[in-house]
Structure 1
């Protein structure tokens, strides 16, 4: 079994049970103690598990847990860059698009330099700043009002009301988790309501989510799989996830290796 395959098995077990022990993994996978520890180190560096004495635990606790923007911005960097590049190819000049709050959509905002005459609606101060700092004069950035969350989203009645009257060609939605029965979720109820309003304004709805989001379930569903047109993830997405998603939506997988090679 290759390292990547072992790590997928370990990650599946962590997501299923919440924790794993080195000794149990040695017996199950038939490899040495040091090999398992290296696998756990690799998963911890990607932010997928938290190492503890004798094993590892899930980084995702309760369904209401929500890391702040800074914490999320250092996770899955190669995956987010690859997804953002692929997502930017979906945007055409002269269109009106929506970008939800989140580190993946924030990364996407920095890849839109080559798209002319663009109108962008967002409920994220971070995304708005990223767009305005790029120096384009043919760009309109519309920032909703609202109450700020730990993920730097603007949410609540003011944000929802400002989105309800809009009609956007394309909306990119970042999510906390994606799972078969729960759909695309967030731990924040107010953010869920605001993102739902943004999704309803979309002519075409695209979810951008790296592979670590699979099997993660937040407190509130934003949209079901059937309500989304396209999901853009990375090639680390498990085969089970690929099969499930492909039954409901168009699925594009970005190649993480391209980003690593450039570095």
Structure 2
């Protein structure tokens, strides 16, 4: 099957079935996931599909490409748990400072912070702050700003301004999309501005991203691959993706 024929078939299948994952499409057409991602990029450019976390949907099925925090928390849960556990090893020494970005995987990291490891934690995420409030080993600092309903995270000029004066040992960052060429992306411009400031505030930047985020480029880039020190991900990431990101300067930790 030629690429054009396969892409037409994919567009028809997605229209018939609704949401399809990259892995499902790769099995359906006996091609690699990298080939599927290239096909989906081509189809999205001409408006035949819309890419979402780990897959694709018909263009008419989404009024908003960004899913809410509750929806995301129920997707790829086992992978996210492994990633969060592996990310604990990236914490600074006891007494250090960290920033924790909003997101379902970063929220899991927050629940795994060791009880004997004192940290000052800055976050703009209300769910993360609620999990950490009252923990004796955590000195919690909640960032100012307007709270978005979709992500339950503070955004806006006040949030970015606060971060511009902040320097922490490690920033733990989530992302909606990740490619070696285009970097890290998110659908919302206000979220992107805060994430950009979170990255700039960290002496080390650690990204937590499961394999469903790879090959996806959403609307707004907030960091290049070269700005990330460590990527913690799962073992379903292809070797080609790992090599490309390593060439960009990332240390890859596979959970």
Same-fold call, TM > 0.5? yes
**Unpaired runs of at least 5, structure 2:** 1-22, 42-52
Structure 2 distance, partners of 1:247, 1:58, is 34
The alpha carbon displacement at 1:184 in A equals 0.6
Deviations 1:199-257 (A, max 9, x none): 11101011110000001111111110111111111101112211111112111110xxx
SS in 2 for 1:231: strand
Aligned to 1:108: 109
For 1:122-133, list aligned pairs within 5 A. 122-132=123-133
Aligned to 1:138: 137
Structure 1 distance, partners of 2:179, 2:195, is 17
Cα separation, partners in 2 of 1:143 and 1:83, compared to 1, 3 Å: same
The alpha carbon displacement at 1:11 in A equals 4.7
The alpha carbon displacement at 1:58 in A equals 7.1
Structure 2 distance, partners of 1:197, 1:145, is 13
Structure 1 distance, partners of 2:127, 2:200, is 22
RMSD in angstroms over aligned alpha carbons? 2.6
Count matched residues.
216
SS in 1 for 2:221: strand
SS in 2 for 1:152: coil
Q: Among 8, 13, 17, which residue is 2:39 paired with?
A: 17
TM-score between both structures, scaled by the size of structure 2: 0.77
Aligned to 2:80: 80
SS in 1 for 2:237: coil
Query: Contact 1:15–1:58 at 8 Å: present in 2 too?
Result: no
Query: Contact 1:100–1:123 at 8 Å: present in 2 too?
Result: yes
Structure 1 distance, partners of 2:239, 2:169, is 31
Aligned to 1:212: 212
Query: Contact 2:115–2:137 at 8 Å: present in 1 too?
Result: no
